[in-house]
Amino acid sequence: MSLTKTSAPARSDVPTGAGQEPVAPNARPYFLHGSMLTVGALAWSSMIAVFGFNNESTAYQYAHNASAFLFQVGVLSLVRVLWRTKAIGAGKVARTVLRIETGALALAMASTASDFFGLTNLDNPASLALDMFWPISMLGMFLIGIRIAVAGRWKGVSRFYPLVAESWAVVTVPTLGIFGGGVARWVGAAHLVIGYAVLGQIVARKKADGS
């Protein structure tokens, strides 16, 4: 009988740190979030390029609301990434701001869904109030874009590019008022591609720490 003991071979599949899992250095945990933003922006941009603004046709009403809803889903995905990466700060105020923006986006999406199904009546104060959350949510994103740049938690181009994307309403609405729908149509469509569609790809390539 041999009394020699042989140590069990070391396992290479066990994490070196207790309770830790290996993380791939090139992991892209926000790929789906960013892709949803890009798809939504391209869908809404295409609708604007084809139909313009304030088209009275039935096709426009369905196309506008469907593509706008898809875009809003993309923006909601962006807010989720901002939350997970603490892009505007890690404190209670930052979390509260993102909760408020999430609520505003949810109400804006409810308004868009109501429009799609023909339930909106702007003579009704409740419908009118709900309709206001679409521009309110976009204004909120513009202010959040400023905060991302100031906070500096996102580095490189991603620190300032959200402000480029989220200036859509600030650029397009005055263009519509000054130059009319003919010019605003192309400005709005192009801005969505240059802004939110590109931002979606920037977000899709972010690592787990937001870098």
Instruction: Take residue 95 and report the two structure tokens written for it.
Output: 């979390």
Q: What is the pLDDT of residue 15?
A: 43
- Distance CA(66)–CA(130), nearest Å, equals 17
Residue type at 53? F
Q: What is the pLDDT of residue 19?
A: 45
pTM of the predicted model as reported, rounded to 2 decimal places = 0.86
Q: What is the pLDDT of residue 208?
A: 79
Q: What is the pLDDT of residue 4?
A: 45
Q: What is the pLDDT of residue 55?
A: 85
Question: How far from the centroid of its chain's Cα atoms is residue 105's Cα?
Answer: 10
Tell me which residues of the chain have a pLDDT lower than 50: 1-20
Q: What is the pLDDT of residue 26?
A: 66
Q: What is the pLDDT of residue 211?
A: 79
Q: What is the pLDDT of residue 207?
A: 87
Residue type at 200? G
